[in-house]
Structure 1
Amino acid sequence: MKLLILGTRGIPARHGGFETFVEKLAPFLVARGWEVVVYCQESGKGEVSESEWQGVRRIHVPVAREGAAGTILFDWKVAKHAKREKGLCLTLGYNTAIFNIVQRLSGQTNVINMDGIEWRRDKWGLIAKTWFWLNERAGCWVGNHLVADHPSIKEHLATRVKAEKITMIPYGGDEVLSADSALLQPYGLTHDQFSVVIARPEPENSFLEMVRAFSQKKRNHTLVVLGNFQPEKNAYHHAVMQAASDEVIFPGAIYDAPVVQALRFHARFYLHGHRVGGTNPSLVEALGASCAVIAHDNQFNRWVAGESAAYFKDEAGCSLLFNQLLNDTTRAHSMKEISRKRFHERFTWQQVLEEYEQLLSSWCQPPHRVER
């Protein structure tokens, strides 16, 4: 059984949720007897090279361009290279699914994780939205089978293809039972005396609504807003920071995993304002850290967090929740317990990885099926 993993920048993880997922899945499958190949994006010019990481064969593909153009070029090179390898493909994301016609035409089986509904995101302009919409359609066609990470994503994809062509497997997370509170000291924070927002600072993630709601009056509490804010370049970032009271702090983007873990684990509340997407990795990680969650009220967040979270529709609703919950220690403790229960119900890595192996194994058995 051989698996080629496409669609990420590679391992070990330094970027997003898909890279973290591959960092979990690839060694898991190797331990189960699989041969696993992961394509890794490298900067610069040169020849394709190989290395090994925890028993995983890594193929390093250099690209001379940076940003989105570099990622597109990398995906094209990977699609062509993977065609020459024997094995099952797992492609993570559909952003360049049109390139996977190479796999389809060569008879190579390709399972595609269709991620979120990218073309609905507010941050993209018309050209980008059109590109994503076309590639979502392409992914539905060229993929032999599709993975949806959320029931609502499966429902959406079922308007494009037959439901039996789609398997729902969510994202996973690690359980956090403790975290070093000393890591909070550089930020002047103490256990349970702050709440935290961890996300990309974009309009669809409700930053402005949450900061305004918190800042309406003195809270005797600190709101920590993580993210790469550039108020001098980005009008939305400027508006969020202008709306903040002196009880809101902006420590920037923090990539040190133990620090982020400590911020989640020791927070009174974790705020999740995402309005678009499927199973969000950050929300799953919050459940794994037993966070009491305050989340935007939509079908994506409600399925993930379930009854463990308190939900708001708008700024007024968020402000009301702050008024009701910030000083209610009993309610916060109860919400934390329910979050841990929800995490164990559906989102442990063991559950998620075993479901992936079961699906992928079914596609390694001859004869190869072609689902349309």
Structure 2
Amino acid sequence: MNQKVYEELFNAKSTVIAYGANPSFDSDPSKIEKWGLEKEGYYLIVGRMIPDNNADLILEGFIQSDSTKKLVIVGDVPFQDEYAIRLKIMKDERLLFTGYVTDPEELKSLYHNCFAYFHGHEYGGTNPTLIKAMAYGCAILALDTRFSRETLQNGKHGWFFGKNPTDLKNIISKAKSEHEKIQELRDTARDGLTDKYNWDRVTGRYLEVFEGLRNP
């Protein structure tokens, strides 16, 4: 979709290369115990605390919901920022801010054991956290953008919500009442990792571009 943006705004052709992810099927469940978490007892957000990622929208909708699960927010910003501070002072005992998680095994366990993963990223192309959520078998609830629709194959591998807290609240209610469909999203998430997200193909495409620049 970034290719279309370049064409529409700048009338410029470009080469699109996706991000990659390796499917993973297991992790150490004890890794989440340090935060007092249990398997499928929480929703998950992973990303920088910046407006483009819409964590405020997700938190506001979650707070309005009657969910008994927690909402775990992984990530931060490496500077003092009013937006990030506003998120961290939101009052709800179900919210858990972990800050940065640098241990890859801990992060993997957080993905593997969540009830569902919220993806609020609004801009960009293939997003690494979304691809990782698919590779780790998450049920994905994503902001309705053309980038997410492309990656999740128009809803085959995730559900979409609009950019308002009410929509977020409603999708939480839907997830609560449709456990079997949430499990189906988990079971089929890795099927969405088509060949274009394979690391061998990704690196091969980069080599093709570099060779083309050297030998135009």
Could you tell me how far 1:293 is from its partner in structure 2?
0.7
| CA deviation string 1:229-262 (max 9, x = no partner) | 699x433223323434211111111111111111
Could you tell me how far 1:327 is from its partner in structure 2?
4.5
Work out the CA distance in 1 between the residues paired with 2:5 and 2:62. 34
In 2 relative to 1, CA 235–171 (structure 1 residues): closer, same or farther, beyond 3 Å?
same
In 2 relative to 1, CA 176–244 (structure 1 residues): closer, same or farther, beyond 3 Å?
farther
Do residues 155 (structure 1) and 7 (structure 2) align?
A: no
Could you tell me how far 1:210 is from its partner in structure 2?
0.5
Higher helix fraction (1 or 2): 2
Could you tell me how far 1:315 is from its partner in structure 2?
1.2
TM-score normalized with structure 2 length: 0.89
TM-score normalized with structure 1 length: 0.53
What are structure 2's unaligned runs of at least 5 residues? Answer: none
Could you tell me how far 1:162 is from its partner in structure 2?
4.3
1:277 corresponds to which residue? Answer: 124
Which of 188, 191, 202 pairs up with 1:341?
191
Task: Check whether the contact 1:206–1:273 (CA below 8 A) recurs between aligned residues.
Answer: yes
What are structure 1's unaligned runs of at least 5 residues? Answer: 1-151
Work out the CA distance in 2 between the residues paired with 1:266 and 1:214. 19
Which of 42, 52, 56 pairs up with 1:208?
56
Classify the secondary structure of the residue corresponding to 2:191. Answer: helix
- Bigger relative contact order, structure 1 or 2, given CA contacts below 8 A and separation 6+? 2
Task: Check whether the contact 2:161–2:168 (CA below 8 A) recurs between aligned residues.
Answer: yes
Do residues 350 (structure 1) and 190 (structure 2) align?
A: no
| CA deviation string 1:153-210 (max 9, x = no partner) | 11122242543xx222111112111111010110111111111100001111111110
2:47 corresponds to which residue? Answer: 199
Which of 137, 151, 172 pairs up with 1:290?
137
The aligned runs of 1:173-322 (5 Å cut-off) are 173-228=21-76, 233-306=80-153, 307=155, 308-313=157-162, 314-322=164-172
Task: Check whether the contact 2:114–2:138 (CA below 8 A) recurs between aligned residues.
Answer: yes
Task: Check whether the contact 2:23–2:136 (CA below 8 A) recurs between aligned residues.
Answer: yes
1:330 corresponds to which residue? Answer: 180
In 2 relative to 1, CA 218–246 (structure 1 residues): closer, same or farther, beyond 3 Å?
farther
Q: Which aligned runs of 4 or more in structure 1 are off by greater than 4 angstroms?
A: none
Task: Check whether the contact 1:230–1:237 (CA below 8 A) recurs between aligned residues.
Answer: no
Task: Check whether the contact 2:65–2:172 (CA below 8 A) recurs between aligned residues.
Answer: no
Task: Check whether the contact 2:57–2:165 (CA below 8 A) recurs between aligned residues.
Answer: yes
Work out the CA distance in 2 between the residues paired with 1:179 and 1:303. 28
Work out the CA distance in 2 between the residues paired with 1:213 and 1:228. 20
Q: Which range moves more in the overlay, 353-362 or 198-207?
A: 353-362
1:203 is aligned with what amino acid? P
Classify the secondary structure of the residue corresponding to 1:265. Answer: helix
Q: Which range moves more in the overlay, 258-267 or 346-355?
A: 346-355
| CA deviation string 1:343-372 (max 9, x = no partner) | 1353121222232233434445xxx32xxx
| CA deviation string 1:35-81 (max 9, x = no partner) | xxxxxxxxxxxxxxxxxxxxxxxxxxxxxxxxxxxxxxxxxxxxxxx
Work out the CA distance in 2 between the residues paired with 1:249 and 1:258. 19
1:324 is aligned with what amino acid? K
Work out the CA distance in 2 between the residues paired with 1:253 and 1:244. 20
Task: Check whether the contact 2:76–2:84 (CA below 8 A) recurs between aligned residues.
Answer: no
Q: CA RMSD in A?
A: 2.0
Task: Check whether the contact 1:294–1:310 (CA below 8 A) recurs between aligned residues.
Answer: yes
Higher strand fraction (1 or 2): 1
Larger Rg: 1
